[in-house]
């Protein structure tokens, strides 16, 4: 065991050495991180980043692990997750909500509904955290998080200081933003006032639609591929006759063809092999290059 891991574990006793990442992803797939640590506040964040710099170790941040495939060889260096102070939701007034990066998006939506604030109801179907949602401009056909953003608080590992980016500094596109590569600590969203009963009804309608159309009770990471312009990947995969196809313990969901499920102790290699088969078939039949929406990290 290398000394840098022991040193950080001494400073942050909850840090885990050679921790399997499968338990921290919704896929339930993934090899070990050299070191895994939950960070409860800014002080722990600064401490970790300073020690990582001294040890010359990379730090990768994860949220709910809902848009991520970790390869079977795991992740070298440090994997960190924000908790504690970063899970707070506050309502500063002016129909705004302040949310930490570790807040789960469905939790944020229901909290806003309870306050009589609307505009984010469709996001209740986004399974990840606010931090991840901001970085990838998460959303559904009915709306994305980007247009609601007033400001985002980020952390600069070089200066070990927080910085606030305002709406004019931010750029959101379909499933991406200029926050990629930054450490996001939280955000402020601008919503609208409304009737609590009406808002909650819309939230419940979106939840029911998701229950009917997506395999939310299986191990998956949501949408596997981004939709090509003007097309829906699920329809393309289904029309290609691939729905239900399996490789090892991974399969294309019988319920929604843009979801890959870990249905029988799948390895990351199974998922990637299945991804390759889908991409090859769609390229052959339609001439389209399907781009992954899920992030693939780690080593084979």
Q: Any idea which residues carry the catalytic annotation?
A: 175, 223, 293
Rounded-to-integer distance, Cα 293 and Cα 116, Å: 32
Backbone torsions φ then ψ of 274, nearest 5 degrees: -65, -40
- Encoding tokens for residue 77? 């260096």
Contacts of 299 (CB under 8 A, 6+ apart): 31, 71, 73, 74, 75, 76
- Cα R_g (the chain), whole angstroms: 20
Contact 188, 239 (CB under 8 A): no
Rounded-to-integer distance, Cα 7 and Cα 12, Å: 9
- Encoding tokens for residue 268? 């990351």
Contact 38, 14 (CB under 8 A): yes
Helix axes 105-114, 196-213, angle to 10 degrees: 150
Contact 139, 293 (CB under 8 A): no
Rounded-to-integer distance, Cα 151 and Cα 232, Å: 31
- The helix (H) or strand (E) run that includes residue 80 is strand 75-82
Q: How far is CA 130 from CA 38, 49, 66, 184, in A?
A: 16, 21, 12, 9
Contacts of 229 (CB under 8 A, 6+ apart): none
Residue 122, sorted as left (phi over 0), alpha (psi -120 to 50) or beta, turns out to be alpha
């Amino acid at each position: 065991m290398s000394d840098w891991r022991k040193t950080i574990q001494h400073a942050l006793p909850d840090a885990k050495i050679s921790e399997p990442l499968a338990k921290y992803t919704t896929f339930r797939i993934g090899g070990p991180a050299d070191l895994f640590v939950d960070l409860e506040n800014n002080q722990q964040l600064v401490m970790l980043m300073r020690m990582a710099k001294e040890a010359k170790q990379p730090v990768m941040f994860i949220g709910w692990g809902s848009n991520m495939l970790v390869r079977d060889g795991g992740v070298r260096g440090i994997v960190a997750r924000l908790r504690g102070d970063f899970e707070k939701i506050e309502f500063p007034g002016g129909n705004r909500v302040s949310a930490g990066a570790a807040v789960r998006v469905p939790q944020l939506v229901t909290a806003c509904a309870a306050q009589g604030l609307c505009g984010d109801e469709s996001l209740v179907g986004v399974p990840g955290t606010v931090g991840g949602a901001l970085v990838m401009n998460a959303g559904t056909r009915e709306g994305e998080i980007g247009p609601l953003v007033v400001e985002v608080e980020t952390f600069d590992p070089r200066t070990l200081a927080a910085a606030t980016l305002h709406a004019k500094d931010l750029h959101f596109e379909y499933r991406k933003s200029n926050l990629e590569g930054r450490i996001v600590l939280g955000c402020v969203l601008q919503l609208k006032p409304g009737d609590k009963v009406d808002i909650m009804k819309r939230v419940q309608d979106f939840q029911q639609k998701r229950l009917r159309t997506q395999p939310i009770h299986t191990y998956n990471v949501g949408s596997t591929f981004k939709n090509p312009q003007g097309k829906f990947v699920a329809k393309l995969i289904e029309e290609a006759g691939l729905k239900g196809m399996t490789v090892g313990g991974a399969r294309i969901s019988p319920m929604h063809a843009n979801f890959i499920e870990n249905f029988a102790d799948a390895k990351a290699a199974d998922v990637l092999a299945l991804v390759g088969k889908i991409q090859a078939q769609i390229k052959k039949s339609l001439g389209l290059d399907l781009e992954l929406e899920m992030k693939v990290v780690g080593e084979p």
